[in-house]
């Protein structure tokens, strides 16, 4: 089966478009349309580090995109992303699309959505916030989506994207 991304003169599953190499995956999740520069933070959110690589990954950074100008892409093989991980990704990559792939086909595609309330997902950046010294679940409301700004319901600390990224 040809597994190239573009109209194909097949070279064994790889295709070259200018200087970008992308290969389709057989099973897993493709996180597409990630805001440019956020791919490594997406890996951080997924708990994928040098010490815990977990699985085969493809990371593409600064790929031209018709929809958002420039984008990053992360392909995680053998893992179907769900729930909280997707919500966390929405905070730093609000345009991202989650594609679940089985047998080389996209069987599910959904755009991430910033939740109205963010509970137990992000640490509060205020060191004096009660959530940082007692077992109290963090709760934020979303004040603004673009650019993201969230407010802690315990201490009213407002956190912007760069503050949120630091907490993951």
Judged by the rule CB under 6 A, the positions of this chain that interact with ligand CTP are 5, 22, 24-25, 30, 32, 73, 75, 97, 99, 101, 104, 106, 109
Asked if 155 is part of the footprint of Zn ion (rule: CB under 5 A), the reply reads yes
Residue 84: phi, psi to the nearest 5? Answer: -60, -35
The minimum distance between CB 101 and Zn ion, in angstroms, equals 38
Q: How far is the CB of 107 from ligand CTP (least distance, A)?
A: 10
Work out how close the CB of 38 gets to Zn ion at its nearest, in angstroms, rounded to a whole number: 24
Find, among 51, 49, 54, 59, the residue nearest to 21 by Cα: 59
- Would you say 85 and 45 are in contact if contact means Cβ atoms under 8 Å apart? yes
Identify residues 126-145 at the interface with Zn ion (CB under 5 A): 126, 129
CB nearer ligand CTP, residue 101 or residue 122: 101
Give yes or no for a cis peptide into 147 (omega within 30° of 0): yes
Q: For the beta carbon of residue 103, count every other beta carbon within 10 angstroms.
A: 8
């Amino acid at each position: 089966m040809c597994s190239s991304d573009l109209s194909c003169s097949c070279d064994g599953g790889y295709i070259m478009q200018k200087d970008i190499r992308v290969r389709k995956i057989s099973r897993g999740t493709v996180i597409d349309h990630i805001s440019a520069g956020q791919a490594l933070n997406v890996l951080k959110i997924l708990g994928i580090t040098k010490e815990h690589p977990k699985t085969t990954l493809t990371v593409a950074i600064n790929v031209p995109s018709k929809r958002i100008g420039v984008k990053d892409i992360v392909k995680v093989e053998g893992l179907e992303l769900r729930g909280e991980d997707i919500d966390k990704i929405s905070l730093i990559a609000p345009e991202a699309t989650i594609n679940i792939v089985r047998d080389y086909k996209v069987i599910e595609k959904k755009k991430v959505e910033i939740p109205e309330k963010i509970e137990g997902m992000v640490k509060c950046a205020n060191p004096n916030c009660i959530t940082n010294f007692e077992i109290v679940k963090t709760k934020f409301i979303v004040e603004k989506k673009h650019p993201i700004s969230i407010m802690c319901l315990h201490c009213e600390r407002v956190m912007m994207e760069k503050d949120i990224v630091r907490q993951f």
